[in-house]
Amino acid sequence: MTVGLVVVSHSRKIAEGAVELAAQMAPDVRFYPVGGTDDGRIGTDLERVAAAFDAGLGEASGDGVVVLTDLGSAVMTAESAAEFCSEPDKVLLADAPVVEGLVAAAVAAQGGATAAEVKAAAEAVRFGPEPAFGPAGTAGSQGRGEPADSGEFELINPMGMHARPAAKIAGGLAGMDVEATVNGADGTSIMELMSLAVGKGDKLRIEAWGKDSSKAVDYVRRLVEQGFGEI
Amino acid sequence: MGLGVEWAVDWLTLSARRIAEHREELIALDRAIGDSDHGENMDRGFQAVMEKLAQSPPETPGAALKLAAMALMSKVGGAAGPLYGTAYLRAATALGESTDIDAAALAGALTAARDGIVARGKAVLGDKTMVDAWSPAVEAADEVLAAGGDAVAVLAAAAEAAEVGAVTTDPLVARKGRASYLGERSAGHRDPGAASSALLLRAAATAAGFPEGSAE
């Protein structure tokens, strides 16, 4: 079982749409979209948000729920609702954009990450690459010395690197204690990975620094070898 | 003799009436710099407060404010829900089980309410938010308390300062909330949350028996 994910939006359509998108990449993750008021208007409803937190804590049976919010008052409603729910300490609000953050969180949750790791995966999207990384293609090993671990793998899935593989790589790496580049791009950035535009038959080179570097290389190797689950 | 549960219920009842009377005005203020739902949201929220008061009449002022907090948080919909909800909830906690609220307890409750709004919304004085009404109100209440004023005088001073505070938001550029997306264009309009805060604090003073003045 995995960490549950709650989306709090002013709009029912945004909450449900973001969940629809992210659920494609995370079939085992439980999502709780809460959008709009109980009479169908734009707004947020504390009672329903608190109920979603409790449902997530009770059903999803990870070590907590991670919450994505849209505009300011959704954050305030989520914070208030957390105070009212059964286990406030297990409700983690991610400071991340709803769509990209939810996708990264979903992929991390699907991979069995803890609530804190899922939150970190969502927030890595928002804060983007470390300043030292530089733009895609230039990071390499400059200033960081030789990578602790690395690997090069040929893409075998017919679609190559597109949104879903990028999200799987980024989400998984964001939950690890590692700095990693893929063909020079920040391994935790879905956008940078997608912009690599590598197709079937092209090679992905991952270089990793930090405690989880061998785990990170192994993670990417497995994804590539399994064709990102697309074959 | 301080203020009891009758005052709290009268305050909420009068708040509901004042918000309904000023509904269009709040909508117009929010249309200028926000999403134009503040008047409607607050009206719906206070109607829910009135329903809950009728269903389960509270026995203490704290219970009355807690009931209002829950209704507002669930029914307002916009940012005002968690903000006012937190304010009333913190005030209720500060008042505890007391059924006879003196000037000091009242000033303490106002401070707790203001601190709740600041904690929830992370706004500071001058951000063009309801904090610009609440902070001067708390300061004025504390001054009257220090000068030996009674509960009614504390509320009257708070109401007066909140009204002045709301007016001071007119030229400000919003740094929090939906209006902050407008940047410089938010200047020249009163903050709707500060305006509704002034209405609510005036209602508190009126319910305590202070004669209505410029608010009418």
The domain made up of A131-229 has a fold known as: Histidine-containing Protein; Chain: A; (3.30.1340)
- Pick from B118, B156, B117: which is nearest to B137 by CA? B156
Given a contact cutoff of 8 angstroms between Cβ atoms, the answer to whether B151 and B143 are in contact is no
Q: pLDDT at residue A143 above 70? A: no
- Among B77, B81, B120, beta carbon nearest to A79: B120
Tens digit of each residue's pLDDT (9 = 90 or more) over B29-68: 999 998 888 999 999 999 999 999 999 999 999 999 999 9
Query: 3-class DSSP state for residue B178?
Result: helix
Q: Is A37 left (phi over 0), alpha (psi -120 to 50) or beta?
A: beta
Query: 3-class DSSP state for residue A226?
Result: coil
Q: pLDDT at residue A152 above 90? A: yes
Task: Provide the token pair at B73.
Answer: 């948080």
- Which chain B residues have any C-beta within 8 angstroms of a chain A C-beta? 35, 37, 41, 73-79, 81-83, 85-86, 120-121, 176-178
To the nearest whole Å, the CA of A73 is away from the closest chain B CA by: 4
Given a contact cutoff of 8 angstroms between Cβ atoms, the answer to whether B137 and B110 are in contact is yes
Q: What is the pLDDT of residue A137?
A: 41
pLDDT band at A83 (very low <50, low <70, confident <90, very high): confident
Q: pLDDT at residue A129 above 50? A: no
Q: What is the pLDDT of residue A128?
A: 52
- Pick from A26, A12, A64: which is nearest to A168 by CA? A26
Task: Provide the token pair at A175.
Answer: 């939950």
Question: Position of tokens 């954009």?
Answer: A97
Q: Supply φ then ψ for residue A31, to 5 degrees.
A: -115, 145
Which residues lie closer than 8 Å to A1 by C-beta, 6 or more apart? A28, A60, A61, A62
- Which chain A residues have any C-beta within 8 angstroms of a chain B C-beta? 37, 41-47, 71-73, 76-77, 79-80
- Pick from A128, A150, A132, A145: which is nearest to A195 by CA? A128
Which of A37, A73, A79, A95 to mutate to test binding with chain B, by most B CBs within 10 Å of its CB? A73
Look up the ipTM and state it: 0.72
Q: pLDDT at residue A62 above 80? A: no
To the nearest whole Å, the CA of A201 is away from the closest chain B CA by: 46
Mean pLDDT of A164-174: 85
pLDDT band at A134 (very low <50, low <70, confident <90, very high): very low
Q: What is the pLDDT of residue B155?
A: 98
User: How far apart (Å, rounded) are the C-alpha atoms in residues B38 and B54?
Assistant: 24
Lowest mean pLDDT among A119-128, A175-184, B150-159: A119-128
The amino acid sitting at A9 is S
Prediction pTM value: 0.72
Which of B84, B120, B127, B130 to mutate to test binding with chain A, by most A CBs within 10 Å of its CB? B120
Contact between chains at B79 and A37 (C-beta distance less than 8 A) = no
Task: Provide the token pair at A125.
Answer: 């999207």
Contact between chains at A77 and B82 (C-beta distance less than 8 A) = yes
User: How far apart (Å, rounded) are the C-alpha atoms in residues A41 and A10?
Assistant: 8
CA distances from B166 to A58, B27, B81, B206 (A): 44, 16, 19, 18
Q: B56 versus A197: which is more confidently predicted?
A: B56
User: How far apart (Å, rounded) are the C-alpha atoms in residues B176 and B211?
Assistant: 34
To the nearest whole Å, the CA of B153 is away from the closest chain A CA by: 32
Q: What is the pLDDT of residue A213?
A: 94
Q: pLDDT at residue A155 above 80? A: yes
Residues in chain A closer than 8 A to B82 (CB atoms): 44, 46, 73, 76-77, 79-80
Q: What is the pLDDT of residue B68?
A: 97
Nearest CA in chain A to B116: A80
pLDDT band at A182 (very low <50, low <70, confident <90, very high): very high
Contact between chains at A80 and B73 (C-beta distance less than 8 A) = yes
The amino acid sitting at B95 is L
Beta bridge partners of A5: A31, A66
Q: What is the pLDDT of residue A91?
A: 96
The amino acid sitting at B114 is R
Q: Supply φ then ψ for residue A9, to 5 degrees.
A: -130, 160
Residues in chain B closer than 8 A to A43 (CB atoms): 37, 41, 76-78, 81
Q: What is the pLDDT of residue A135?
A: 41
User: How far apart (Å, rounded) are the C-alpha atoms in residues B169 and B125?
Assistant: 10
Candidates 1.10.10.10, 3.90.1150.10, 3.40.50.620, 1.25.40.340; correct CATH number of B5-207?
1.25.40.340
- Total residue count of chain B as it appears in this document: 216
Q: pLDDT at residue A139 above 80? A: no
- Total residue count of chain A as it appears in this document: 231
Contact between chains at B77 and A76 (C-beta distance less than 8 A) = no
Tens digit of each residue's pLDDT (9 = 90 or more) over B1-11: 689 999 999 99
Q: What is the pLDDT of residue B72?
A: 94
- Among B37, B41, B79, beta carbon nearest to A76: B79
Task: Provide the token pair at B138.
Answer: 């708390």
pLDDT, chain A, mean: 87
Task: Provide the token pair at B106.
Answer: 């009242």
Q: What is the pLDDT of residue A131?
A: 41
Domain residue limits, chain A: 4-126, 131-229
Point out the residues of chain B with pLDDT beneath 50: 214-216
Q: pLDDT at residue A105 above 80? A: yes
Nearest CA in chain B to A80: B82
Q: For A4-126, CATH number?
A: 3.40.50.510
Residues in chain A closer than 8 A to B121 (CB atoms): 76
Beta bridge partners of A31: A5
Alpha helices in chain A (DSSP H): 12-23, 46-55, 72-84, 98-110, 115-127, 163-174, 190-195, 213-225
User: How far apart (Å, rounded) are the C-alpha atoms in residues A57 and A152?
Assistant: 40
Nearest CA in chain B to A73: B79
Given a contact cutoff of 8 angstroms between Cβ atoms, the answer to whether A54 and A19 are in contact is no
R_g of chain B computed on alpha carbons: 16
pLDDT above 70 coverage of chain A, percent: 92
CB neighbours of residue A145 within 10 Å: 8
